[in-house]
Chain A
Amino acid sequence: MSDWERASTARVLPPARPRKLAKVPYVELADGRVQGVVSSGSDIGRVYVSSVAASTYEFACSTNNNRPCGGARGMFCNHILALLNESTIQYGAERVARYLRVEPPEPTAQAISQTMGATRPSQGDNTAAASVFSQFLRHLAYLEFEASTAPVPELHWFPPTRAVG
């Protein structure tokens, strides 16, 4: 057994890296997809829910009101490209490539997008959009919780780490 396996404070997740949120307020690696929410460039009340699946690279993009994205016809739209770009900033290109099971020639967002695009992935339906959007709302709800000064000793299991994964 390694020290890591026998450590109470073994680091499992690498720390998130800072990124600007204006264009892509939310991105996650979840449910076998890189998925998230992209703000519309023209209408501040509209967002796009975009996703790319691991392995098949099947993609989808629609508004939060479930209207299809005009750009995502047969290929990745600009929302999906922006989503992939921001995902590599937040999680690191290596981790995103590993999650999507892509082997790009170099670990960059552009190489990841091009490698997947070259396989001519199919466009999926928008069934996942509702759950991605509700994940985003759940994420935003974290802003609403009050800070408290009661002791929470459980956080001693969660030290910060400087290591970038």
Chain B
Amino acid sequence: MRTDLLSDPIAGLDEALAVADAFDDVLVAGLLRPQKIVGLTELAEALAGSPLASRVAEAAEKTAAGAAGEDHFVSLAAARTAVFGSVHDAVLARLAEATGRPWEEEEAVRRVSASDLPNLLAAARSWLSDLARAGWQGIDHDLISASAPTISALLAEPSLRRLAVLLDGFAAELAASCPGAALERVPVRRWGDLWSRGMLLTLPSATPALGTVTGRLLPLGVDLLEHSTAAQAQVHAVFEPEDGSTPRLVRASVTVPKPDTVIGAGIWQLLRPRLSLLTAIGEGRSMELTEMPVTAEGDLLWQDGHARLGEPADAFSTARVALPKAAMPSVAPLDRHPVRIAVPVFLEGYGIEGEEDALTFTFAGNHLAVETDRIPAAGPLTPKAVASSSACIGLIRWDGGFRLQPLAVETTVRKKTTAVHAGAWAGGTTDKAGVKAEKAATDAAAVLRERAGRLLRK
């Protein structure tokens, strides 16, 4: 791992981000009668050499004149997405160089499928368009709560889970930020991201090519993602094909909507039954996969029937031996946004600087910020353990700069090197604090289920 490359500037990055920032500033006051139209013209100019050029130019012009319709907003969202696509590609290319890992060839076969629920998607697009017209400073309770029926309907439709989960998390943030006129500061890039991703998810989407894989799965760690009403566990692993071909990095994830009072260990309890891999990780085991479905992007579409428990497999051995040779999967064009970059790495021999909530690993003069804030509360890994670690499995992420999200560390406990994993409790635990957290979560879920049984559908 050449950590020095992570602090070198990336050519063209600042220019691309400046275009996005200027457009995001237009969204603050809204697209109904935009005052600062420079953000629109700069976006159109940035896309001038692309296949989107004429559509974006028209959208920018109509929007600047206060005469834009939904299709124009879709074009602007697509343009902003394309700018972040270029940022993603530049950042990921730098990471590939730094890790020295091979890339997988892009498989071009994609099928665009029309949704059989066009009205629901149109309702979502209509609300997102109203939101863009109002701008972040124009949001109020009526506008945000108007999304509730659409989001409930989307959640009930498993094929639209991506849009549902996105809008649900987005709407909760907006609701807590009302009225927009009183906001002291606005998370402009974040809300610009969520808005444009939401807009694009209301369009017919390209589904990735599917294949199957047979071989051995060696887990590296678990990444937990959550907002108040949804959670996802994503396992990063090295997959070794049975036929002896190049090992590759893959992911297996499980996502579930949840009540906002189900938190901590309660989240693992909701996710656990659907992904046997979480139990395997808790036991420190590999899994043998037989014809497991997988996307061209390296996402396993997990089905327990295609997996069985394998031999014990230590994640740090996997990270030291198998990870350096594993190929990085390609990324679907519409998913190219820097926020989804999560490249597994193994680091050791670093120095440690800073407090537990602002840690930095140092490598011969180079610094890598460590995001201890992302470590899930329901697990044995703590910022303190990271601050005294000697080796680390983590995900390199990018949000304005490279940073490390720790998934597991080796640290010395009573003169013995011990591995501590963020996702150690995912499959269940016998740890004293963990058992207590599990019990509290079980009780909370039992109360909600009892109340639901008594009060729902009456």
Q: Which residues of A contact B (CB under 8 A)?
A: 1-13, 15-22, 25-26, 29-32, 39, 44-45, 47, 64, 90, 136-163
Contact = CB atoms under 8 A, between A and B. Distances in A.
A152 B302 CA distance: 13
Contacts of B21: 1, 6
B279 to A, nearest CB: 14
Given A13-B173, A18-B264, A150 B185 contact: no
B252 interface: yes
Contacts of A10: 187, 189-190
B190 A7 contact: yes
Question: Secondary structure at chain A's binding surface: helix, strand, loop or mixed?
Answer: loop
Given A140-B451, A144-B452, A155-B232, 19 more contacts: A3-B400, A12-B190, A13-B227, A20-B444, A30-B175, A90-B261, A143-B448, A143-B449, A143-B452, A147-B270, A147-B274, A149-B303, A152-B162, A154-B162, A155-B226, A157-B194, A160-B226, A160-B376, A162-B372
Interface in B96-131: none
Nearest to B189: A6
Nearest to B445: A143
B261 A16 contact: yes
Contacts, number: 216
Given A5-B189, A140-B451, A21 B251 contact: no
7 contacts: A1-B188, A18-B440, A25-B451, A45-B454, A142-B155, A143-B452, A159-B405
Contacts of A16: 228, 260-261, 263
B274 A18 contact: no
A158 B227 contact: yes
Interface stretch (B31-39, B43-51, B314-322, B335-343): B335-343
Contact of B254 (A4, A13, A45, A149): A149
Contacts of B333: none
B165 A9 contact: no
A147 B255 contact: yes
A13 to B, nearest CB: 6
Nearest to B253: A151
Contact of A21 (B188, B194, B375, B444): B444
A144 B189 CA distance: 33
A149 B190 contact: no
B71 interface: no
A17 B449 CA distance: 20
Nearest to A90: B261
B274 A140 contact: no
Contacts of A154: 162-163, 165-166, 197, 201
Contacts of B188: 1, 5-6
Given A9-B399, A20-B443, A140-B451, A2 B185 contact: yes
Contacts of A45: 454
B169 A158 contact: yes
Interface stretch (B56-64, B293-301, B344-352, B424-432): B293-301
Nearest to B374: A159
B177 A137 contact: no
Given A18-B264, A64-B455, A160 B374 contact: yes
A22 to B, nearest CB: 5
Contacts of B194: 157
Nearest to A30: B175
**Which 3 A-B pairs rank lowest in CB-CB distance, beginning with the nearest?**
A147-B256, A155-B225, A147-B274
A32 B178 CA distance: 10
B225 A159 contact: yes
A21 B261 CA distance: 8
B257 interface: yes
Interface in B1-43: 17, 21
- Which residue, A8, A11, A15, A144, has most C-beta atoms of chain B within 10 A? A8
A115 to B, nearest CB: 22
B223 to A, nearest CB: 9
B447 interface: yes
Nearest to A2: B185
